[in-house]
A and B are shown apart, each in its own frame.
With several copies, the nearest count.
Chain A
Amino acid sequence: MDLGLSEQQELLKNAAREFLENECPEQHVRDMEEDEKGYSPELWGQMAEQGWQGLLIPEEHGGVGFDFLDMCVLLEEFGRALVPGPFMSSVLGGGVSIMEAGSDAQKSEFLPGIASGDLIFSLALTEPSARFDESGIECEATVSGNDVTLNGTKLFVSDAHVADYLVVAARSSAGVCLSIIATDQDGVNVTPLQTIARDKQCEVVLNNASGQLLGADGAGWDLLKPIIQKYTVAECAYLVGLSQMDFEIAVDYAKERVQFGRPIGSFQAIQHKCADMVTDVDGSRFIMYKAAWSIATDQPDDETTMAVNMAKAWCSEATRRVVAHGQQIHGGIGFTKDYKVQLYFRRQKRAELAFGDADYHRELVAQQLGL
């Protein structure tokens, strides 16, 4: 029993914080909101030099070979700094998918590129039905040997407009299958959507797009399960960092802002909001890490599944409460575009919704509780 970080994790965290404070300041986040690509290739390269895109990837494939807990430590810092760009798309959506489902050849072909940052991947999971379950996969796949031809529309695909490859979940005659497709082909048509978080989620229309099978045909849904679990917990880690920073900004503001001759943080109404915020943030952190630990240490399936659903159920709501309090504590200034706290408010919503909000996961918890 130990809820502290390991020495290696502390190092990773401190290095990430320092790096991101320098290289991904608020202005960068704002710039990327207006940027067509939504990320800076230069920063992307620097992150790769830090070994981050390859953090989870084994050394034999050009990565660093850290475990999933370590990745969550890093992603907390990403949330704190609101790092824009396709990091999670490429690392979780691409890297993890290939690690979980890929052949040795595919691992050798793609993982080094992901680790080095030379390749950008994304996971094309959801469709206009916006469902997270197996029946949500309706995109048509025609499988012939190792070749897959795809027709259909995938929606809310993060960063597809800058991805070199997509991991696509589709439905073949054998069931759900995964495939890897290159985006630079005629059959792939990507349109970014405007979102509350000003991130890049895309419509991807597949019209006889061709690619290669990833994992066995028909095994796609089983293969997706650990991928989705990791991605879900990764979103929780992002939310933890995001809400921690929102909370810190709000507490700092409450100490500085004076009204009625005293700092507003001396008023009980503000103090108690701050107390609730720290409770929600801390609660989020540990329930997220429990799920991450459960994955990283390969705990029994049912325990891991429960831990993941609980984490996303809690983090989705708790961090929403945090950013709402953050806005209220700031008063008018917090509502302006120019002040930083609103960046956190808007981005919370994206991660809250990603892979299902609290209601979705609460339902899964209820089922597992035998209710």
Chain B
Amino acid sequence: MDWSDTTVQSTFRDDVRDFIMTRLPDRYQGDSGEGEDFSGGWQADRKSEDAKARGAAENWAGALSEKGWVAPAWPKEYGGAGLTVMEQFIFNQEMAESGAPSVGGMGVSMLGPTLIVHGSEEQKAEHLPRILNGEVAWAQGYSEPGAGSDLASLQTRAVRDGDEYVINGQKIWTSGAHFADWLFTLVRTNPDAPKHRGISFLMLDITSPGLTVRPIIDMGWNHPFNETFFEDVKVPVTNCIGEEDRGWYVGMTLLDFERSGISDAISYRRGQKELREFLVSGAGKQFTRQDFSVVRKELADRAVETEVLFNFAFRIVSIQDSGMVPNYEASVNKMYSSELHQRMARTSTKAWGLYGNLWAEDSAYSPMNAAHVRDYVGSVPHTIFSGSSEIQRNVIATRGLGLPRG
């Protein structure tokens, strides 16, 4: 058991840290991460109207690209860095500690690995380089209004017509589609097969005729998600990854990424530290509720819980580093992290008493730019998306503990 780096790990960590310190554009220095609507992130910046933002996105992508660190986990033959899981972990840790934005979004994390495993040589040659050089950003079209937790019941239809599929239907929660160039999606190609066996995995240009992306404005007035409508959208059959009707299994490919979720833990710890420091500062005291002691205990609990989350992340990477595949442990991380996030947002908001009402980022009356009340709202979907807490607990109980399915 060891909570510290080996010498080799420590050397790699220094490299990453030096690189970030040297090459991270000013725009991202001291940034505390992407906003709920991707603001301040690479995806938004590369399509920004502000030339400085675009420049920063480009420079940072270029710098990472030099090291092969746009896609640290991809094999070197495909232009990745071929990092080990532990190296990826250290890389991700350092990126998160510095608040540096990752580059390549879902193209790097989802589509690329899927292509690498299931794609044809033509598909790989066409798409992988354009992900790595930042030319193409990808969005994911999985969920539908009627297929959320029960994703496999998706109904968006793709009908083969010669060399094309013709797609009709609707996707929802297509996050970042408004910054994306291409979309990968699961569609039903065989409505008569059992629900997991009639689905195909398609890639399509987001500007395809008949495809409409409509913003979903969330309860915090942000725009993280979209609805995507398909009206006779035509996609060449060559854009199907893997076999037709086998898309469910293509989409569920277990990627050889480190899956620790360490960046959550790091961001929670940083956020709590900033809050505590501000609370006891002169500027903070003017906002702090008179009966501060009530929050004190909660702040201590959140700190302990964050330590637990760190350990959950360390556990995952330890498992992966020893060549095994995490089972229920990843579900524990997701569930625990998202629920802790909500508790943290409540605790933080509570610290401000009546000031917890204030929403304006730029008001002198808003403590810490109203970050906490915004997080109180913004953390709501974290226990819902990417597998709700209910689904995670089901998975832990059945897949993890072997309890019989209900």
Residues of A within 8 A of B (CB): 1-6, 9, 69, 126, 128-131, 133, 136, 155-156, 193-198, 201, 203, 251, 254-255, 258-263, 265-272, 274-276, 278-279, 282-283, 286-287, 289-290, 292-294, 297, 310, 313-314, 320, 324, 327-328, 331-338, 342, 345-346, 349-350, 353, 357, 359-360, 362-363, 365-366, 369-371
Q: Are B393 and A193 in contact (CB under 8 A)?
A: no
Q: Is B217 an interface residue (CB 8 A)?
A: yes
Q: Is B239 an interface residue (CB 8 A)?
A: no
Chain B CB count within 10 A is highest, among A9, A263, A271, for A271
Having A155-B365, A270-B390, A283-B336, one finds 9 other A-B pairs with CB under 8 Å, namely: A128-B286, A193-B360, A275-B401, A278-B332, A278-B401, A335-B381, A337-B217, A369-B303, A371-B296
Query: Could you show 30 A-B contacts with beta carbons less than 8 Å apart?
Result: A2-B2, A3-B314, A69-B1, A156-B357, A196-B376, A201-B357, A255-B404, A258-B146, A263-B403, A266-B404, A270-B390, A272-B393, A272-B397, A275-B400, A287-B311, A290-B3, A310-B307, A313-B300, A314-B307, A328-B384, A332-B173, A333-B145, A334-B384, A346-B219, A357-B350, A359-B295, A359-B350, A362-B304, A366-B300, A369-B276
> What A residues does B392 contact at CB under 8 A?
275
Q: Is B394 an interface residue (CB 8 A)?
A: yes
Using A196-B376, A287-B307, A332-B172 as known contacts, say yes or no to A259 and B393 having CB atoms under 8 A apart: no
Which among B70-78, B148-156, B205-213 touches the partner chain?
B148-156
Q: Which 7 A-B pairs have the closest CB atoms?
A: A271-B397, A286-B311, A342-B219, A275-B393, A359-B294, A275-B396, A259-B150
A242–B146 Cα distance when bound, in Å, is 28
Minimum Cβ distance to chain A for residue B37 (Å)? 12
Which among B20-28, B132-140, B248-256, B317-325 touches the partner chain?
B317-325
Count of chain B residues near A, Cβ 8 A? 96
A363–B292 Cα distance when bound, in Å, is 12
A27–B75 Cα distance when bound, in Å, is 53
> What A residues does B314 contact at CB under 8 A?
1, 3, 286
Q: Are B218 and A331 in contact (CB under 8 A)?
A: no
Q: Are A269 and B384 in contact (CB under 8 A)?
A: no
> What B residues does A155 contact at CB under 8 A?
354, 365
> What B residues does A275 contact at CB under 8 A?
332, 335, 392-394, 396-397, 400-401
> What A residues does B289 contact at CB under 8 A?
130, 360
Minimum Cβ distance to chain B for residue A332 (Å)? 6
A198–B220 Cα distance when bound, in Å, is 11
Q: Are B148 and A251 in contact (CB under 8 A)?
A: no
Q: Are B381 and A271 in contact (CB under 8 A)?
A: no
Q: Is B201 an interface residue (CB 8 A)?
A: no
Contact partner, A1, options B4, B350, B401, Cβ 8 Å: B4
> What A residues does B168 contact at CB under 8 A?
none
Contact partner, A365, options B216, B300, B336, B358, Cβ 8 Å: B300
Chain B CB count within 10 A is highest, among A197, A198, A269, A332, for A332
Closest to A272 in B: B393
Q: Are B150 and A331 in contact (CB under 8 A)?
A: no
Closest to B354 in A: A130
Q: Are A1 and B89 in contact (CB under 8 A)?
A: yes
Q: Are B359 and A196 in contact (CB under 8 A)?
A: yes
A77–B406 Cα distance when bound, in Å, is 33
Q: Are A370 and B276 in contact (CB under 8 A)?
A: yes
Interface string of B1-15 (1 = CB under 8 A from A): 111110001000000
Chain A CB count within 10 A is highest, among B86, B300, B365, for B300
Q: Are A336 and B303 in contact (CB under 8 A)?
A: no
Minimum Cβ distance to chain A for residue B327 (Å)? 11
> What B residues does A251 contact at CB under 8 A?
401-403
A125–B404 Cα distance when bound, in Å, is 49
Using A268-B394, A332-B384 as known contacts, say yes or no to A4 and B308 having CB atoms under 8 A apart: no
Q: Are A327 and B380 in contact (CB under 8 A)?
A: yes
A194–B359 Cα distance when bound, in Å, is 5
Q: Is B297 an interface residue (CB 8 A)?
A: yes
> What A residues does B296 contact at CB under 8 A?
366, 371
Residues of B within 8 A of A (CB): 1-5, 9, 86, 89, 143, 145-150, 153, 172-173, 216-219, 221, 225, 276-277, 279-280, 286-287, 289-291, 294-297, 299-301, 303-305, 307-308, 311-312, 314-315, 317-318, 321-322, 328-329, 332, 335-336, 342, 346, 349-350, 353-360, 363, 365, 373, 376-377, 380-381, 383-385, 388-390, 392-394, 396-398, 400-406
A276–B311 Cα distance when bound, in Å, is 16
Q: Are B291 and A360 in contact (CB under 8 A)?
A: yes
Contact partner, A332, options B143, B354, B389, B401, Cβ 8 Å: B143
A85–B315 Cα distance when bound, in Å, is 33
Q: Are A350 and B218 in contact (CB under 8 A)?
A: no
Q: Are B373 and A332 in contact (CB under 8 A)?
A: no
Chain B CB count within 10 A is highest, among A195, A203, A263, for A195
Using A193-B360, A357-B353, A366-B300 as known contacts, say yes or no to A337 and B406 having CB atoms under 8 A apart: no
Contact partner, B318, options A3, A290, A370, Cβ 8 Å: A3
Closest to A199 in B: B357
Minimum Cβ distance to chain A for residue B140 (Å)? 14
A278–B400 Cα distance when bound, in Å, is 9
Closest to B301 in A: A362
Q: Are A332 and B385 in contact (CB under 8 A)?
A: yes
A262–B296 Cα distance when bound, in Å, is 44
Q: Are B398 and A271 in contact (CB under 8 A)?
A: yes
A268–B322 Cα distance when bound, in Å, is 33
Using A2-B2, A332-B143, A335-B218 as known contacts, say yes or no to A283 and B318 having CB atoms under 8 A apart: no
Closest to A1 in B: B314
Closest to B145 in A: A333
> What B residues does A197 contact at CB under 8 A?
357
> What B residues does A334 contact at CB under 8 A?
219, 380, 384
Q: Are A5 and B1 in contact (CB under 8 A)?
A: yes
> What A residues does B303 contact at CB under 8 A?
310, 365, 369
> What A residues does B217 contact at CB under 8 A?
336-338
A258–B172 Cα distance when bound, in Å, is 16
> What B residues does A254 contact at CB under 8 A?
403
> What A residues does B312 contact at CB under 8 A?
282-283, 286
> What A residues does B219 contact at CB under 8 A?
334-337, 342, 345-346
Closest to A314 in B: B304
> What A residues does B388 contact at CB under 8 A?
328, 331
> What A residues does B9 contact at CB under 8 A?
1
> What A residues does B150 contact at CB under 8 A?
259-261
Minimum Cβ distance to chain B for residue A202 (Å)? 11
Closest to A318 in B: B308
Closest to B222 in A: A337
Contact partner, A265, options B1, B294, B328, B403, Cβ 8 Å: B403
Minimum Cβ distance to chain B for residue A212 (Å)? 28
